[in-house]
Amino acid sequence: MAAPEADFPLFVRLPVELRLQIWKETLPKFQRPLYFYQEGCWESHNTGENEITLKFNHHLLYLQLNIPIISVNREASKFTLRWMEQQGIKLYLHASKKSFVIQRPFNPCTDTLYVPKKQFHTFYYEPLGDLMCQAGFENMTIRCPEPALKNLAIPWDIAKDEPNLLADLSQSGYYSGVQKVALVVNTQAIPRGNQDLGSQEQWEMKSVLDNHTSTRHNGDCHFEGIEGVTKSAKKLGWDNDQQLEVELCFASLM
C-alpha cells in the first residue's frame, strides 16, 4: 500500500542533498536499543560421537520496524534500502499477511539483551535444560565456542533479591562472554506485553548519569563513579577477579 502523497508539492524542487537529509531525519535512530529475551534461542547439536555443541541463535531475536518513507517515492525507497543495508536491517515477505515486514536482527557483539526479573531463572537454566534433552549427555564433551552475548540488561531489583545470581552467571561458561551489565531502574514502565516477539515497541537504554560514565568493578569490590553502588555490588556477588562494566540505566521508548 503506497503512502499518501505529501502536502508539499515543491519538495521535488529542493536540492538533492537537502531532500536526502530530510529522508535521513525520518529514519529510526538506533543508539542503545533493547532486545527482549525470548525462550528458545539456545540450540544443541551433536558435532561428534561424544560431543555436543551449544549455540545461542541470536537470529531469532529482532526488532520489527515501521519505516513509512520506504513507499513514498522511488528516491525515498532507494535511499531507505541503502540505509537498511548499511544497518543490517532486513526486508522480508510475510507469507500470511502478504506484505513486507522490516526487521532489525540482534547483534550479540553490540546490542543489549534485556531479561525481565520473572524470566531470569529461565534465561539462566535454558542452556542446561536444552542439554539435558540429549541422551547420554553426562558422558559427552560440551562445547560452547562463542559468547552468546556481550551486553546484558537486567532489573535493578535483582541486586536485592538474587544475591549471587550474576556471579553464577559469569561462571557458567554459557554467559561468560558478558562484558557489560546495565541495571534498569524503571522496569515497571515496560509493559509485559512488550515481551511478545514481533509485537514489541522499540525501547532503548539511557544512562542515569548525565556523562554516561560506566562504573567498573575491580579487585577491591569497588565501583567508581556512583556513590552507594559498592554495597549493592557485594549483594550481586561478583568475585574479585571478575571484571564487568556496570551502569545504572532507565528504559524509554525510542
For residue 169, give Cα distances in angstroms to 45, 97, 103. Answer: 22, 40, 29
Contact 180, 150 (CB under 8 A): yes
Contact 249, 24 (CB under 8 A): no
pLDDT in tens, 12-57: 888 999 999 999 999 988 888 889 988 888 887 777 777 778 888 8
- Return the number of other C-beta atoms located less than 10 Å from residue 103's C-beta: 16
Residues of the chain below pLDDT 50: 1, 4, 194-199, 211-238
Amino acid at 179: Q
Q: Sign (positive/negative) of CA torsion 87, 93, 98, 104? A: negative
- Please give the angle made by the CA atoms of 106, 111 and 116, to the nearest 5 degrees: 90
Q: What does pTM read for this prediction?
A: 0.77
The reported pLDDT for the residue numbered 26 is 92
Write phi, then psi, for 186 (nearest 5 degrees): -120, 45
Average per-residue pLDDT for the chain: 75
The reported pLDDT for the residue numbered 10 is 84
The reported pLDDT for the residue numbered 159 is 64
The reported pLDDT for the residue numbered 84 is 93
Nearest alpha carbon to residue 110 among 205, 172, 204, 33: 33
